[in-house]
Every structure is written in structure tokens, then in C-alpha cells.
Amino acid sequence: MTVTGKISAIRGAGPAPAHRRRLLDQDWPRLLRAGAVLALGQVFIALSGMPVSFDRRLLIDPVLSLGYLSLLWLPLVVGYWVGREQVLEGMAAYTRGGRDVAAGAIAGLLGNAGLTLLVLGITHFDIRDPLVNWSPQLLDILEFEESVWLGTLIWPAIGAGTGALGGGMHWAGSRTSRTTVTVLLSVFGTAVLESVITDLTQGFHVEAVSDWLYGPKRGLTYPAAIAVAATAVGVMTGLAAYRASPARDGRTTRGNGAATVGGSESARPAWRRMPTRRAMNLVLTVAAIVVLPLFLGRLTNELLANVGLFILLALGLNIIVGLAGILDLGYVAFFAVGGYSVAVLTSPGSPRFDPEIPWFGALFAAMLLAGLAGLFIGAPVIRMRGDYLAIVTLGFGEIIRVLLLSDWLSGTFNGAQGITNVPGVEVFGLATVRGFEPRSVLYLVLVFCAIAVYVSWRLENSRIGRAWMAIREDENVAEAMGVDTVSAKLMAFVTGAVLGSFSGAILSAKVGSVFPHSFAIIVSIVILVVVIFGGMGNIPGVIAGAVVLIGILGGPNQPGLLQEFAEYKILIYGALLVWMMLQRSEGLIPNMRRARELHIDEMNQDVWLRAQAAADDAHNEGGNPRGGRL
Amino acid sequence: MGVESPVLEMRGVNTHYGAVHILKDVDLAIYSGELVCLLGGNASGKSTTLRTILGMVKPTTGDVVLNGQVVTTQSTRERVALGVTMVPENRRLFKRLTVGENLEMGAFLRTDSDGIATDREWVFELFPRVKERLNQKAGTLSGGEQQMVAIGRALMARPQILLMDEPSMGLAPALVQQNFELIQQIHEAGLTVFMVEQNANMALSIADRGWVLQTGRVVLDDTAENLLAHPDLQASYLGTTEK
């Protein structure tokens, strides 16, 4: 992106003449490519089984099911994508217009022709053996339970329509298109999140709202859908009016002043007001977090508790991967050590260690054991680098699970039966935290998250944090600067392990049992995805990653907001990760300070490029006007 | 000079990588305030000499002496604390850390915050460009600026002796020139510099003395002028690396 991005940024140097192009004056190879990608995507979605399994889940009561939505969204995205055209410097710029709509429509038409082929394919061939979803049910859905002819003809038409809508987003101007997107997202969001919204309304004792919103089959009713859309439009207009109001002007200019590094002098007054504002924000956030669980229903509290468990894990792994740069693929080991230590020490159901100790005592044992496990796993891998290290940690993660499962240690860990009857957490005789009271679990998790955030934050800005980052960047040079790399890396493993064991310890008390299969390799991978998705080495990013991924999609063994998608969780994880690596390799929330620097740097680069371009122009004066120079 | 004890000394050092004999009876002595260079072609043992001085490799026999103290068995960390710092080959900044954080890493073992602040100002004085780029990620700087940060980072350790590994490596000719000027500048500021280099003519043009290393053995040891004039210098390993 960088080169073309910069080039388009230079455009400011000289205004390019704007042209209007005719409807069919398209970049055909690009359209064909987009169409092919869309076709593959649509056929993939259809054959992944989503349309069939989501067909019964109605979104808007009589008309639209989640199954059909799964086939509708992609043409919209592709339509938007083909309508977006990079403006190259030195080339003519075109005004937005019907051509974009046409491009979207053509791509959508071509792409959904893939579904037409699928309909014909299913009608004439039976390859259900390798492809389980090559089924009459899918055919029924694709044909709208009518005829083959309807099925073959209607999909390209639908594709053209949605694609045109996507392409038209550019034409409509940013406010209109943003409003459209918001309306669509809020209507479908409200529909998809039915269970959570019902839960929330119960928590706030306004069940009437959810009763009115949702029909008997859990979909939005017609009037409700219209009301949600109207609310979204209202909010958007209100926000736009607020942004345009003079009251906000002072704020924006001050924000801009603070964003320029060079103008640090002008940022002084804002800087002076910052601490109080930040403290206020912090206090408000903390208060909201403390009070909110009281109003949330069981489901939401449970969900947030799971998110919290993964925040703990992700913060721990973030120290190892994000700060110290050690790719640990066996992080689940520390989760398991925490969970099993607490289970063995507190449960009367554990075969060994009869005098059971209270949870807090067991927690200390868990921390100690996890720290030792960190040393034990860290020591042999610390001298390795890159791929080898990752593979060895992967092995260690599995070894722990296999040990827990083994006959040899079944006297302690009870093999595949696991350990049950793990009691809840007695909080100093005041309260008992049990799995069937998600609210209490959430509070316990929140306390530990706060500890983990504080520890991570302090470590990140400490000497050892600097040392970790230096090792991540260049281990040899870090050593030459006097960093004791071996002990720093071991320290990262131990700290990460202890944070991970918190999560295991809470999980064990929450669920009341532990089994070896809860600590499979997929858990390691999910935690790593959370860290990468959120933004490695960056605490708010990691938290956001956990909230988004675990909260919405769910953890490996935990349901998320979109319970319907549980079956496709890993697929979506993978797709998101690929998209993330392509589009925002810095993660969901890249370090803000860093991002700003990067931005400034790009601006500097642009200035440099512009100067180069000017020099080139002067050089080539009269002669060949920069043909093919870039 | 030459009357007091050397800042850095290697006494009869032999270093092996596994069974391979790299350094053979290397004797070097560098005195306070000198700018000396160690010349040699590829695989002559130049980098191993630096690694041995820093303690990243331990010599099989012989001793490394810093300020009269034998440090042969000590770790890299302890040696850095005693005042030896390296500017690595190809600069090798911590690319995703800011320039300021890179400088801080240079002072990693120091605890005297006042002294660190003074040295920071000194680095800014030497390289005003570094101050301008303080909050930028090191990886986004130009080659010349990165070189300044690399030297600045090493200066932040307030070293007794600065080791420079191939300062001309990977830089455009104009930058090589600039880089040698930087080295001369910090040398004139009073620093003892030990430079390892392939570009003999360049290095000798600013150095006081030099050694030539050939397959792990010191074959020439003389003042810069004499070495430049020496007929064996060109023949011994490199011809010229100019151009």
C-alpha cells in the first residue's frame, strides 16, 4: 500500500483535471478478477453450510434469515471494493458517478453467477461424498424453494443489486454511505444479538423492550426493524450536527495541535489539562466497569467473565510474544498448570492431597508452580530462535496436556476423567464465587484483570520492559548493550506464566472441574490470535482483541455473543487473521503514539517524494515528461 | 601516551569456534585517547576479535584486559559496565523503538540519571539531527541518521573505549565519508576508538595506528602513515576497497 498510498498523497501538489467516464468504460480485468473472487467466496460460503444451518434463524421476522444474509454481505463488500479506485499521480482523476455503481453491479453479477453454477451443479451432479453440504437442503435455499430457473436467474440479479449498492456507496458521498452502513449494521446487529439484548433488558428490568423487538422466532419484527433503522439515522444525524456545531470547534483544533510533534510548544496548554482529564476518564471507566455487572443478566456476565479470562491469558502471552518477541505456541501449558494446581489442591474429588486448602492458598501454589513451569519450559528454548523455538514451545504445550492425560500421573490428575468438585472461591468469608453466579465470577476476574493490566503496564515501562523490547528488536545488540538476555527472557516466560496461571486458577473454580482436553493446542492458538489481532506489545490492543474475538465469537470452549456461529468460529478466526495481516498488520489498536509517529514519518516521506518529483520535473524540463520513471 | 597502562589489551588470545582456530596469539594494546584500527579481509577474524573483547565468545587461552583488570571470565554485561561499548556492523538499531528509547538502551546499565541526561545533551550537541528525530521510530530514519543514532546510542554508555564494527559497511560512498568524519569528530571529543574495518585507505586516513589481521594472526603493526606506505598492505589482503 505504501508506495501507491504515498503517490496518491502527492496529488495535492498539482490539481489533476476531473473527467467523467462512461458507464462501461471499466477496468475489465479488475472487474473479472473481483467477480471471480466473489464467485469463489460465495460458493465457499454456500458449501461451508452456513446458509443451511442458519436458515431457521430469522433476522427480520418473515423475510430474512441469517442463512440468506450469509450470502448477501459479500457482494456488497466486493461492490464497494471495485468501486474504490486508487488515484495515481499524473493520471486523470475521475468524478464519482454511475460508473462506480455499474462496476459494483457487474462484479456482483459475475460473482453470483458462481451460485448459479452451483445450483446447476447440485441439480445435475451428486458429489455429496466429499462435500457434505452439496445437499438438497442447500438447493432448496438457493432456489427459494421454487424452481431451478428461479434459482439460476435470481442470484445474479441479487448480486447485481447488492453490488450496485456497494459501488454506489462511493457515489453517495461519505455521510450518506456512512449512514447506510450504520443502519444496516445496527438492524442486523440488533437482530443477531437477540439473546444478549434480551439478557440485557432482563438485567435492567425492561423486558417489554425485547418482547416488542423480537418475534416468536427470535427475529426482529417489521416495525422493530424500522424503528431500529430510524434510531440509527437519528443518532447519525445528531452526531453530524454535533460535529458541525461551533461548540466542538475549539476541541478539534486543540486535538490537531497536540497531534503534531513539531508543534510541541503549541500543545503545552492541552498537555497541562491532560492529567486531570485522563484521571477523570479513568475514574469514570472504572466506576462503569464496577457498576455495570450489577445490571447485566446472567448470560452477559458469563460472557464477560470469559472475556476476562482471555484478557488475562492474552496479557500474559503478550509479555512473552509482544514484548520479549519470543513466539510461544505452547502458552496453554501455563493455563493448564494454573487450572490443575487449584483443582488438585482444593477439590475433595482429587485423588491425591487430601487436606484441601482454600482457593487463595492454592492460587499461590499455582503461581509458584506456573513460575517453575515457565523456568522449566523457558530454560531449554531460550537459546533457540525463530522457527525452532516456536516448534519446541508447541511441543512443550502438548507435553503438559499429555502428562495430565497419562496413566502414569493419573494418581494425581485422574487422567481423562479430570478433576471434578472443585469448590468455589471463598472471599475472606464474605462471599463465595461460584460458576453458577456469573456476576461474582466476573468481579473476581475483573480484580485479576486489573492486577494484570497494572503489572503489564508497569513492566512495559520499566527497565526489564525496555530490555525485553530490545531483545525483540535485536538480541545480539541488546546483549552488547549490557542486557542479560538469558535472565531477561526467562523472566518474560515466568511473568507470562504467572499471569496465565491466574486465568487457569479462576477457570477451575468457575467451572468446578478441569479436564485435559480443555487445554488443547487450539487454546494456545486462540490466545495468540487474540494478541496478534489486538496488536502485539500493546495493552489496550490486547484487551480490545479479547473483547472483540472472545466476546463476539467466543473462546475455544466458551460461547460468544454470536452463538449461532460457534460451528464456524475457527473459520472466522482464520479469515479475520488473514485480513488483519494484509490490512492492518499492527493490530486492531496499534500503539497510538507509534501510529502518530508513523503518520508523521509518512508525511515527511511525502514531502521528500514531492521534492524529488519537483526535481525530476526540473530535470526533464521540456523533454520526456517523466514517462515510466516511477 | 603509551606511558600509562592501556585501556584495552588482548594478551596472547586464541579463540576457537568449535574445533576451528580463529584467533591465533593476538596481542593488542590500545591507549587512552587513541583512534586505532584493525584491518583485515573477509574471514580474517576481525569480528571475532570484537566478540572476544565483548565476551560474547570466550578465548581458549590468553586474556582480555580492560583498564588493567583481567575480564576474560566475565560476562558481556560486566564488561559493558566496565566501559566497553560497541557500535555494531550495519548500525542495527532497535527499529521499532523510538530514537529516544534507542539512546536509553545505550545507557541500560547506568543508574546515574543526571549523568545520563548530561550525555544525552552531549549526543544532541554532536548530532543535532538526532534530537529532531527523537520521537520517531529508529527504523524510519535514513541511513546517515541511523548511523548517528547508532553512535549516539553507544556514547550513552559513556564508554572508556568505543568499538566500531565495520563502520563503512552497507552505506553509500557519500555516507561512508560522512561516517568517518563522525568517528573523527567523536575521537576529537576525547574518546578512545577501536575500529574494525575492511576499507583500509579510509580507516588509515583517520587512525593513529593500525594492525592488519590475516587468517587470525596479526601480521602488521605500525602507525597509520607507515601502514599506508607499506607495500605489503595492499598485497596482504585486499587491494583497495575504494569503489
pLDDT band at A407 (very low <50, low <70, confident <90, very high): confident
| Chain B residues lying within 8 Å of A479, measured CB to CB | 56, 76-77
Tell me the average pLDDT of chain B: 88
> Where is average pLDDT lowest: A15-19, A53-57, A308-312, B68-72?
A15-19
Whether residue A481 and residue B104 make contact (CB cut-off 8 A), yes or no, is: no
In the CATH hierarchy, which top-level class contains the domain B1-82+160-169+186-243? Answer: alpha beta
- B64 forms beta bridges with B10
Residue of A nearest to B88 (CA): A477
pLDDT digits (tens, 9 = 90+) for A195-222: 888 888 887 888 888 888 888 777 888 8
pLDDT exceeds 70 at position A596:
no
Instruction: Enumerate the domain spans of chain A.
Output: 23-86+93-172, 175-244, 294-520, 591-616
Which are the contacts of B179, defined by CB distance < 8 A and separation ≥ 6?
A: B144, B147, B167, B168, B171
Give residue A628's pLDDT.
Answer: 38
Instruction: Enumerate the domain spans of chain B.
Output: 1-82+160-169+186-243, 84-158
Q: What is the arithmetic mean of pLDDT over B41-60?
A: 89
CA within 13 Å, CB half, A179: 16
Q: What is the H or E stretch that residue A404 is in? A: helix A386-405
**In one letter, which amino acid is B179?**
N
Whether residue A482 and residue B135 make contact (CB cut-off 8 A), yes or no, is: no
pLDDT digits (tens, 9 = 90+) for B111-167: 898 999 999 999 999 899 999 999 999 989 988 889 899 999 999 999 999 999 988
What is the rounded distance in angstroms from the CA atom of residue B141 to the CA atom of residue B238?
Answer: 32
DSSP letter, residue B108: T
Q: What is the arithmetic mean of pLDDT over A289-317?
A: 90
| Chain A residues lying within 8 Å of B77, measured CB to CB | 479, 482-484
| Chain A residues lying within 8 Å of B94, measured CB to CB | 469-470, 473-474, 477-478
Residue predicted with more confidence, A6 or A326: A326
- B66 forms beta bridges with B8, B69
| Chain A residues lying within 8 Å of B150, measured CB to CB | none
pLDDT exceeds 90 at position B23:
yes
Residue of A nearest to B105 (CA): A481
Shortest CA gap A52–chain B (Å): 47
**In one letter, which amino acid is A544?**
A
What is the rounded distance in angstroms from the CA atom of residue A515 to the CA atom of residue A607?
Answer: 60
Confirm if A17 and A94 have CB atoms less than 8 A apart: no
pLDDT band at A630 (very low <50, low <70, confident <90, very high): very low
DSSP letter, residue A12: G
| Chain B residues lying within 8 Å of A480, measured CB to CB | 54, 56, 76, 80, 85-86, 88
| Chain B residues lying within 8 Å of A611, measured CB to CB | none
Confirm if B168 and B180 have CB atoms less than 8 A apart: yes
- A215 forms beta bridges with none
Chain A residues near any Cβ of chain B (below 8 Å): 261, 463, 466-467, 469-470, 472-474, 476-484, 593-594, 597-598, 600-601
Give residue A336's pLDDT.
Answer: 95
Give residue B5's pLDDT.
Answer: 83
Work out the percent of chain B whose per-residue pLDDT is above 90: 51
Chain B residues near any Cβ of chain A (below 8 Å): 54, 56, 75-77, 80-81, 85-86, 88, 92-98, 101, 104-106, 108-109, 135-137, 140, 153, 157
Grid cell, residue A548, equals: 472483540
Give residue B87's pLDDT.
Answer: 92
Q: Which residue has the cell 496499534?
A: A590
pLDDT exceeds 80 at position B3:
no
Q: What is the arithmetic mean of pLDDT over B158-186?
A: 88
Query: The pTM is what?
Result: 0.80
What is the rounded distance in angstroms from the CA atom of residue A134 to the CA atom of residue A142?
Answer: 12
Cα of first residue to Cα of last residue in chain B, in angstroms, is: 35
> Where is average pLDDT lowest: A433-442, B20-29, B63-72?
A433-442
Give residue A99's pLDDT.
Answer: 82
**In one letter, which amino acid is A559?**
P
DSSP readout, A74-90?
A: HHHHHHHHHH-----TT
- Of A466, A482, A601, which is closest to B81 when you measure between CB atoms? A482
pLDDT exceeds 50 at position A528:
yes
What is the rounded distance in angstroms from the CA atom of residue A400 to the CA atom of residue A393?
Answer: 11
Residue predicted with more confidence, A34 or A193: A34
Q: In degrees rounded to 5, what are phi and psi of residue B160?
A: -75, -35
Shortest CA gap B87–chain A (Å): 9
Shortest CA gap A430–chain B (Å): 46
Q: What is the arithmetic mean of pLDDT over A402-411?
A: 88
| Chain B residues lying within 8 Å of A594, measured CB to CB | 96, 137
CA within 13 Å, CB half, B135: 15
pLDDT band at A555 (very low <50, low <70, confident <90, very high): confident
- Of A470, A594, A601, which is closest to B94 when you measure between CB atoms? A470
pLDDT band at A609 (very low <50, low <70, confident <90, very high): low
Confirm if B54 and B76 have CB atoms less than 8 A apart: yes
pLDDT band at A93 (very low <50, low <70, confident <90, very high): low
> Where is average pLDDT lowest: A186-200, A262-276, A513-527, A535-549?
A262-276
Residue of A nearest to B81 (CA): A482
Whether residue A482 and residue B77 make contact (CB cut-off 8 A), yes or no, is: yes
Whether residue B80 and residue A480 make contact (CB cut-off 8 A), yes or no, is: yes
pLDDT band at B28 (very low <50, low <70, confident <90, very high): very high
CA distances to A11, A55, A386 from A94, in Å: 13, 42, 47
Give residue B243's pLDDT.
Answer: 35
pLDDT exceeds 50 at position A94:
yes
Confirm if B61 and B13 have CB atoms less than 8 A apart: yes
Tell me the average pLDDT of chain A: 81
> Where is average pLDDT lowest: A350-354, A385-389, A431-435, A591-595?
A591-595
- Of A466, A479, A484, which is closest to B104 when you measure between CB atoms? A466
- Of B75, B95, B105, which is closest to A481 when you measure between CB atoms? B105
A261 burial (CB, 10 Å; 0-12 / 13-18 / 19+) is: middle
Residue predicted with more confidence, A590 or A26: A26
| Chain B residues lying within 8 Å of A483, measured CB to CB | 77, 105, 108
Whether residue A478 and residue B97 make contact (CB cut-off 8 A), yes or no, is: no
